[in-house]
Amino acid sequence: MRSFMSAVRPGRSKAKREQRQAQKTKAEQAQAVQNKGQVEDTAKRLQARVEHLERQQKVLAKEAKVLAAKGNKQAAISRLRKKKMINKEVEKLYGAISNLEQQAFAVESAIGTQEVIKGLRVGKDALKTAYDKIDVDELHDLQDDVAETMQTMEEVDNLLAEPLSGYDFDEDDLAAELAELDQECAVDDVINALPSAPLAPVPKPVSAAQAVTMAKPSPVVPPRPALDLTDQASSVLYEVGQNPTNNRKMQAIRALGGAATRVALGRAAVAQPLTLRLATRAMSTGIPAHGGELVDLMVKDEAEKQKLKSSVDTTMELSDRNACDVELLVNGGFSPLTSFMNQADYESVVERNRLTNDVLFGLPVVLDTDREDLTVGKKVLLQYKGEDLAVMDIEERYTPDKVKETNNCYKTTELAHPGTMMVALERGNTYLSGALKGLQLPTREIPCQTPREVREMLPKDKNVVVFQCRNPLHRAHVELFLRSAAVVENNVVLVHPTVGPTQQDDISGAVRYKTYLTLQDNELKGNDQIVFAYLPYSMQMAGPREALQHMIIRKNYCQMDNGMGVHFIVGRDMAGSKSSITGEDYYGAYDAQEFAGEVASELGMGTVPSLNLVYCGEEHGYMTADKAEETGAKPLKLSGTEFRKRLRAGEDIPEWFAYPSVVKVLRENL
């Protein structure tokens, strides 16, 4: 009896210990969850406090402005002093909120770790139970039986596979005949699949840049017309005839043959698009604007304008960013948009950078507000700095998902990103949409041209290469866009700077405009290859997404029905941004270039990656960094920080880095 009880007790004791441990773990998890909830509640209360203080800051700023205008400087200074005190408190609160969020995450991680450990224990017990029932000797016997059975099956299969007497053939002869049949069938398939077309001269060879685009698979796009496909085939066949060993061109032939087969066998198959688009043909489609026709929302009749104004229910003052968006909506720069995005299009663009009709679009274009009186059915007059820009019929009012918007568009929800900061703190919490009618474009210090005006400025017989910038142009910039443009035959370069809101540390649009003017009057005077125009666009520093947005806008500004193409220079780290706290980049150096290359064919545009140029003294001048490394030439360097330091101190700035006329303007205005 004693021996039996002594054998049972250890098992019972172990079970009790495990039960107590499970109860303890459960209690610890419950306490951890409760602690996490308390931390999150504290963070929410602090966030509410921050929002209250930020509202106070805005009120104080407005009061200070009013008092300053009235000449009461002492009271204005008092308001500004209090505003700065509140700002310091807000910064402290943001730090505390960040710490609390980290603690909440750590608690949640610890809870997850406990669950994993629990799962591992259960798995261990299950494995032990399962393998305790396996007899290893029995398993060996079973394997031997299976091996014998497999050997018998193999002998039977070999006997059945032996040819009957009298039917022996040479296997090499059969293989050769089969290869000949395969070759004949492949040729017939390609010939029969090609659509009929009038005989035409073989096109001239395409340029090196076009050949690269030709050999690179493109995103899914609608099928091209039959004649277009035949021209593409002729162009590729010509190049293969000149150099039949070129593997890239042979790959293009195979892809083109497959595309021709799909078109010939499935005329109704819009879902079976071409997977290869040659740059020469994509450029010559003559699409008037992105998504169809160039949008024009401007009301031309003065009587109609007055009638619209008299019918409004209320007015709304636009921010600088909103005013830029209204201008680009009205003049067609944002074609095919005809209004601020409704919720369906907003969510579609945020989710997959496409409108609901599947047309590409880079970033949301929205009208934000915190006003409760702007309700559906009302007609609102949109004003900017005393001017009546447009009338909108409010058809939809919705709450955006700002977390998803910032995460998808800027790849981060950190307030250290300027785009996220703008969406989170500058934009209101409600977005409006509805029919929009333009009354006038904003009167700007910098004259901004419409898409129609830019098209009139550009020569009709040249391909357009667009260079986007938001900084003054220095010598390296000009060398860069002229050399990059050289890969496109018969080109004109459109320098198209953005002059709307941008990052806080960027040079203002007004000062940059002066540098562009002086450059045209001095160093670039008489250069007919370069055309300047100015774009009323507000930068969001959205990296790849913004590169797509820029390409769409430039297509709307430059695409003409004349067979010439539009090419866009995509800079290294285009529209990139660094964290204002850590200094780390939010995007890879070539993310924008790679994404632009993926969408270029669908847009009917070409992309020109910018060169990494360095200056290697008077003997070598500017050359690519790779060539400098190959030749052993030593680049001269002048960082942006050093340039700004010399600029402020009045120190010498070498002409290889910056044009003297530009330096003079910057020193006079900064």
528-577 pLDDT, tens digit each: 999 999 999 999 999 999 999 999 999 999 988 777 899 999 988 899 99
**Digit-coded pLDDT (tens) for 62-96:** 788 777 877 787 888 888 888 888 888 888 888 88
609 and 482 co-located in one domain: yes
pLDDT of residue 149: 72
**203 pLDDT above the threshold of 60:** no
Name which of 541, 384, 396, 557 is nearest 470 in CA terms: 541
- Of 231, 253, 283, the residue that ends a domain is 283
498 and 432 co-located in one domain: no
Confirm if 584 and 606 have CB atoms less than 8 A apart.
no
**236 pLDDT above the threshold of 50:** no
For residue 457, what pLDDT band results from cuts at 50, 70 and 90? very high
Higher per-residue confidence, 486 vs 403? 403
Residue 2 lies in a domain: no
Q: Judge if pTM exceeds 0.85.
A: no
CA-CA distances (angstroms) from residue 360 to 224, 592, 601, 603? 18, 15, 12, 8
CA angle 513, 516, 519 (to 5 degrees): 150
Residue 1 lies in a domain: no
Percent of the chain with pLDDT over 70: 73
Q: Give the Cα separation of 249 and 210 in Å (integer).
A: 12
Most confident of 346-360, 517-531, 561-575: 346-360
Residue 136 lies in a domain: no
662 and 617 co-located in one domain: yes
**132 pLDDT above the threshold of 90:** no
Residue 363 lies in a domain: yes
User: Residue 332 maps to which CATH number?
Assistant: 3.10.400.10
Name which of 208, 271, 263 is nearest 233 in CA terms: 263
68 and 33 co-located in one domain: yes
Higher per-residue confidence, 181 vs 583? 583
**Digit-coded pLDDT (tens) for 34-70:** 776 777 778 788 888 888 888 888 888 878 877 787 7
Q: Which of 420-434, 540-554, 611-625 has the lowest mean pLDDT?
A: 611-625
Number of domains in the chain: 4
pLDDT of residue 216: 37
Residue-number span of the structural domain to which 316 is assigned: 302-438
Residue 250 lies in a domain: yes
The predicted model gives 302-327 an average pLDDT of: 97
Name which of 34, 36, 24, 26 is nearest 106 in CA terms: 36
pLDDT of residue 194: 35
For residue 448, what pLDDT band results from cuts at 50, 70 and 90? very high
607 and 637 co-located in one domain: yes
**Digit-coded pLDDT (tens) for 318-345:** 999 999 999 999 999 999 999 999 999 9
607 and 528 co-located in one domain: yes
330 and 403 co-located in one domain: yes
Higher per-residue confidence, 476 vs 123? 476
Confirm if 585 and 417 have CB atoms less than 8 A apart.
no
pLDDT of residue 612: 85
414 and 523 co-located in one domain: no
Q: Which residues pair with 498 in a beta bridge?
A: 535
59 and 119 co-located in one domain: yes
Strand pairing category for 613-615 and 622-624:
antiparallel
Residue 98 burial (10 A CB sphere; 0-12, 13-18, 19+): middle
407 and 479 co-located in one domain: no
pLDDT of residue 486: 85
Residue 160 lies in a domain: no
Residue 171 lies in a domain: no
586 and 471 co-located in one domain: yes
**Digit-coded pLDDT (tens) for 275-286:** 222 232 223 334
Q: How many CB atoms lie within 10 A of CB 574?
A: 25
Q: Which of 260-269, 444-453, 573-582 has the lowest mean pLDDT?
A: 260-269
For residue 247, what pLDDT band results from cuts at 50, 70 and 90? very low
316 and 366 co-located in one domain: yes
pLDDT of residue 26: 67
- Of 97, 129, 161, the residue that ends a domain is 129
- Of 409, 438, 467, the residue that ends a domain is 438
Residue 505 lies in a domain: yes
For residue 374, what pLDDT band results from cuts at 50, 70 and 90? very high
